[in-house]
Structure 1
Amino acid sequence: MKQYEQLDKLIADYGGVIQTYQVVAEGISKPTFYNYVKVRKLEQVAHGVYVLRDAWTDSLYLIHLRCEQAIFSHETALFFHDLTDREPAPYSITVKTGYNPTRLKADGIHVYTVKSELHPVGRTTAQTSFGHTVPIYDMERTICDLIRSRKGIEIQIFQEAMKQYVRRKDKDLRTLIQYAALFRVEKILRQYLEVLL
């Protein structure tokens, strides 16, 4: 029973989310942990990731735990960067081409794919409202992603994001142009910037 108390404390310390490797690192065996999962009725949300049923869960952090290569992008990144006031629904992530996103898509997550050499371009991190650190794309990469996916994004969201970006003091136009060249959207980007700047 002492180990159950240890597990109760551990899951409380991790905000209601616990991973098998964290339990094993504390010297608790997997069979003991799996019994604990049954007794406490924890919910398995991904391979090796369990949450308390009544816990307020950090959806963004859980997506990150489920798919570590996923980087929050598009409308979700816009929200993190305060380039939109619309809460992202569904969440958008970008993964490397070749990753099977079927389960994520089934859970209502918008999944974009990109060549593996372009996947890390502009990767940074941000804090969720629960205080967890998750990977997101920086503002400049996000703007390029919006231009690349503009046919699938609401025109109001796209236009507002572009206007907000141009007004920002912390924008980096040089990096934006470099990214635009990499993603082959430089010509379209320049057309938008000519109107907005």
Structure 2
Amino acid sequence: MTKLERFAQLDGLLAEQDGMLQTSQAVARGIVKPIFYEYIKERKLEQVAHGIYVSEDTWIDAMFLLHLRCGQAVFSHESALFFHDLTDREPSPYAITVRRGYSTTRLKAEGLSVYTIKPELFDVGVSSGQTPFGHTVPVYDMERTICDLLRSRSRIEIQTFQGALKAYARRKDKNLRALMQYAGMFKVEKILRQYLEVLL
């Protein structure tokens, strides 16, 4: 394949990925790194993270970029509330959860709200959500999020938490059975019952 054909292939990939290109994607398509870097230079792509480049006119989807950079993380707490329409505030900083033992120093240095959980509870309630740009990222479901907020209530604004619970109580798609099951796993059953008695 000629260089021009490789460049055309990368153009297609760039369009497919909404102006974002990863070194790993190019390599997976059989494009050698020297050609890839030549393409980056010629198309004036900007490096936004290790192995991730964007075209000049691309609006950067910060949530998706965070997911690409840290595939181990799941959006949680206030960020998960945003995905489930349980808050009207866009989360700032983003809140993510990683398995205990994962190094969080770099993520915290970037100003992210990072929570850790023991590995056996990490996958409980993982679902997916759409960022405002339409990309799919991992996010905890509503029920897990309510339990997370209860577990971390000393770090969460009380209005945020109460607003989320009220919004959850009004939802037609809530799953109280799953909520109570998770509450047992996360040892927040007692306090959850107190809140629910008032709301339901």
TM range (shorter): over 0.9
- State the 1:168 CA deviation: 0.9
TM-score w.r.t. length of structure 1: 0.94
**What letter is aligned with 2:80?**
A
RMSD over equivalenced CA pairs, Å: 1.4
Equivalences, count = 197
Among the aligned pairs, what percent are the same residue?
A: 67
Q: Which runs of 5+ in 2 are unaligned?
A: none
**Which one is further off, 10-19 or 139-148?**
10-19
- For the pair 1:132 / 2:128, whether they are aligned, the reply is no
Q: Report what 2:49 is aligned to.
A: 46
- For the pair 1:121 / 2:124, whether they are aligned, the reply is yes
- 1:60-99 to structure 2, matched below 5 A, reads 60-99=63-102
Q: Report what 1:167 is aligned to.
A: 170
- For the pair 1:176 / 2:179, whether they are aligned, the reply is yes
- Seen in structure 2, the aligned counterparts of structure 1 residues 104 and 44 have a Cα distance that, compared at 3 Å, is farther
TM-score w.r.t. length of structure 2: 0.92
Matches of 1:72 and 1:53 in 2, distance apart? 27
**What letter is aligned with 2:64?**
Y
- State the 1:41 CA deviation: 3.5
**Which one is further off, 30-39 or 125-134?**
30-39
Q: Report what 1:107 is aligned to.
A: 110
Q: Which runs of 5+ in 1 are unaligned?
A: none
- For the pair 1:21 / 2:29, whether they are aligned, the reply is no
Q: Report what 1:157 is aligned to.
A: 160
**What letter is aligned with 2:23?**
T
Tell me the alpha carbon deviations over residues 65-108 of structure 1, each in whole angstroms, 9 at most, x when there is no partner. 11111100001100111111111111111000111122222222
